[in-house]
Amino acid sequence: MSQLFRRKVLYIPGFDPIPPRRYRELYRREAAKQGRISGYRIDMTPATSGRRFGWNCSASFPQSQAESRFEVLVWDDLVQDSMRRGIAGTYAQLVSTAWTYIASGALWRLMKLRRGPVLAALYPIVVLLLQLAVAIGAGAIAGWGLSQISTWWLGLPVALVIVWLVLNLFRRLDNRIFAYYLMHDYAFTAQNRGAYPPELEARLAEFAAQLQDVLNEDLDEVLVVGHSSGAYLAISLLADVLRQHKPRTDQPRLALLTLGHVVPMASFLPRSQRLRADLAWLSQSPQLFWLDVSAPGDACCFGLCDPVAVTGVAGPEQRWPLVISAAFNQTLSPETMKKLRHHWFRLHFQYLCAFDRPNDYDYFAITAGPLGLAQRFAQRTHSPGRITIPAGRGLAR
């Protein structure tokens, strides 16, 4: 019998206020579905200790078996704190965030790459402004009507109350509209013009300590996975650890998997020198294997954009990332694509879900199977649609 493959997976979510248990349940449901499609079995058990949250997997694949331990590197508390703004605070974020992207020129540079994520970024601005217009219109009509049968000084406060009630109603409906959620997301990225806030830097230091501890364990592979905004946090995390600690020959292989990245939304901002330096340094490191997976059909990410090259920091010694497409139109059935067509937020999470017709990208085989990331993709080349336009600010600016 072949040797059991052992792995530790550190997963960094995107900007998500939901507790990390949702990722365990998502993994449980979708792994079972993918196993039925692809002919393998993954059994899960919970593993939670203090603030740390995760699960364990025992996997049986046709070629061999593997054991993987998952841990979610949580920062949902920082997300929740950043979302504790009232209606007025959110509209203040709208103004400051729009000004940051427009005045810095980042918005125009982003539009050179993919229009989908730029339109997704404009979506909360447009929707919130429409909501404000509707609220003001409703308030004006109510106030004018009351002033006709009474006096203007009675109509004015009524108008203001109506405006507030309508805006509050829209906010209560945001679990369907996502305008407030997305506005908080983009505002979090832009709040320091691209520089990480101190509380996020502190959390990254905690993650770095955890990763360094894991690298000292007896494992075959340590796999760091970053989804959406978590992708650029994963990049900075690995750059921090590899700069400070030279890996030993007896340590497990280190791999990075970035999914549906939105790196340019951060790296194109004027004070993102830290992230741009991390991208440049990590792209040349021989100490890891870095795979980036996205899809042109995902309007919430920069599909097939090489995050290093488009930021303008690719050097002559660039090794990473290997950029491949999840190719939703090929890997999902027509029935599934029809079902997800207007659910763009769900499509952004497809990387973490089962595929009807998986090709070489299979999230569950990668994170729980008996092959390491470097071995699985050793012969793979970039997808033909890879975008390398150097639209970003580069290292010097």
Question: Tell me: the pLDDT tens digits for 327-336?
Answer: 999 999 999 9
Helix, strand, coil abundance in the chain, percent, nearest 5: 50, 15, 35
Q: Is the pLDDT of residue 4 over 60?
A: yes
Q: Is the pLDDT of residue 219 over 80?
A: yes
pLDDT of residue 176: 87
Q: Is the pLDDT of residue 231 over 70?
A: yes
Q: Is the pLDDT of residue 361 over 80?
A: yes
> Cβ contacts of residue 298 below 8 Å, gap of 6+?
116, 260, 326, 328, 344, 347, 348, 350
Nearest-angstrom CA–CA distance, 67 and 55? 11
Q: Which one is predicted more confidently, 28 or 341?
A: 28
- What is the average pLDDT across 158-178? 91
Share of the chain above pLDDT 70, in %: 95
pLDDT of residue 76: 93
Distance of CA 105 to the CA centre of its chain: 23
pLDDT of residue 397: 57
Nearest-angstrom CA–CA distance, 18 and 3? 38
| DSSP classification of residue 112 | T
Q: How confident is the model at residue 50 (pLDDT cuts 50, 70, 90)?
A: low
3-state DSSP assignment of residue 309 = helix
Range of weakest confidence among 43-47, 271-275, 292-296: 43-47
Q: Is the pLDDT of residue 213 over 90?
A: yes
Q: Of 366, 280, 382, 261, give the one whose Cα is nearest residue 323.
A: 382
pLDDT of residue 175: 87
pLDDT of residue 2: 54
Q: What is the pTM of this model?
A: 0.94
pLDDT of residue 345: 86
Share of the chain above pLDDT 90, in %: 81
pLDDT of residue 1: 41
Q: How confident is the model at residue 226 (pLDDT cuts 50, 70, 90)?
A: very high
